[in-house]
């Protein structure tokens, strides 16, 4: 299947759709075009009855560094929200296959998936506080759901890095592989899902999702309030400027 866009490639593997973010020169950071490509690929997964599961991955060196800080990720899409996927209501399971860093929004992409397969090169982090910004694509509540509370807090306020083995020990990562093996293991897991009734799978996921609806609504509202608080201060501008100037930020605390 030809890709919709050169930064997002998609491939059918039987009943499984593989979605690959392929922008390695930019560490697979999400810009407007890439977000649109993810959205189109997930629309296909949602709408094609012949597809029963999906896998989203990056390249062998990096999963995703999150939002492209220079160009931005564009406006949320109608069906998927941020990155074309963060607020999407899916009826089909989506697996993240992670090699290398999944930082910031890249981690939030993994948190938005149903299952996570990671190679031992995988690293998960939320470094937004080091840049004077905030995790705004679901991590403020999804990280607390996927990880123990104090671990999630540490990641959100220090920029600490979680490796694949630790993620597996904590229950966030479903399977750990040798380097280069995440996609193959994710496909194996997807095929295992496809041995189940797609009606049963969809009903199970819908029931699970519905239990979190109220909490998610509150989480998004609180995230918006936190974003506005950060935007109203001086540290956000300083943090982003320092990032591009490759220096330590000089925080004012305002």
- The residue behind tokens 């918006």 is 224
In angstroms, what CA-CA distances link 247 with 32, 155, 159? 27, 22, 16
- Angle 233-235-238 from CA coordinates, rounded to 5°: 130
Active-site residue set? 108, 128
> What is the distance of C-alpha 233 from the center of its chain?
27
Torsion of CA 64, 116, 18, 25, to 10 degrees: 10
Helix (H, G, I), strand (E, B) or coil at 111: helix
Three-class SS of 129-156: HHHCCCCCCCHHHHHHHHCCHHHHHHHH
């Amino acid at each position: 299947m030809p890709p919709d866009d050169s930064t997002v490639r998609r491939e059918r593997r039987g009943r499984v759709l593989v979605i690959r973010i392929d922008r390695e020169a930019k560490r697979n950071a999400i810009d407007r075009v890439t977000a649109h490509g993810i959205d189109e690929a997930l629309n296909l997964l949602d709408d094609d009855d012949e597809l029963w599961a999906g896998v989203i991955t990056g390249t062998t060196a990096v999963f995703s560094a999150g939002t492209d800080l220079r160009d931005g990720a564009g406006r949320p899409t109608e069906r998927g929200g941020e990155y074309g996927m963060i607020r999407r209501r899916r009826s089909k399971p989506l697996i993240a296959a992670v090699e290398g860093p999944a930082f910031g929004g890249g981690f939030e992409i993994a948190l938005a998936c149903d299952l996570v397969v990671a190679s031992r090169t995988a690293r998960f982090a939320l470094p937004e506080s080091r840049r004077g910004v905030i995790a705004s694509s679901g991590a403020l509540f999804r990280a607390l759901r996927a990880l123990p509370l104090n671990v999630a807090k540490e990641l959100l306020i220090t920029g600490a890095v979680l490796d694949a083995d630790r993620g597996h020990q904590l229950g966030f990562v479903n399977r750990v592989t040798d380097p280069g093996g995440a996609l193959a293991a994710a496909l194996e897991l997807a095929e295992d899902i496809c041995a189940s009734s797609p009606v049963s799978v969809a009903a199970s996921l819908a029931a699970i999702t519905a239990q979190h609806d109220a909490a998610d609504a509150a989480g998004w509202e609180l995230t918006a309030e936190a974003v506005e608080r950060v935007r109203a201060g001086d540290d956000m501008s300083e943090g982003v400027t320092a990032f591009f100037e490759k220096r330590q930020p000089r925080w004012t605390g305002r």
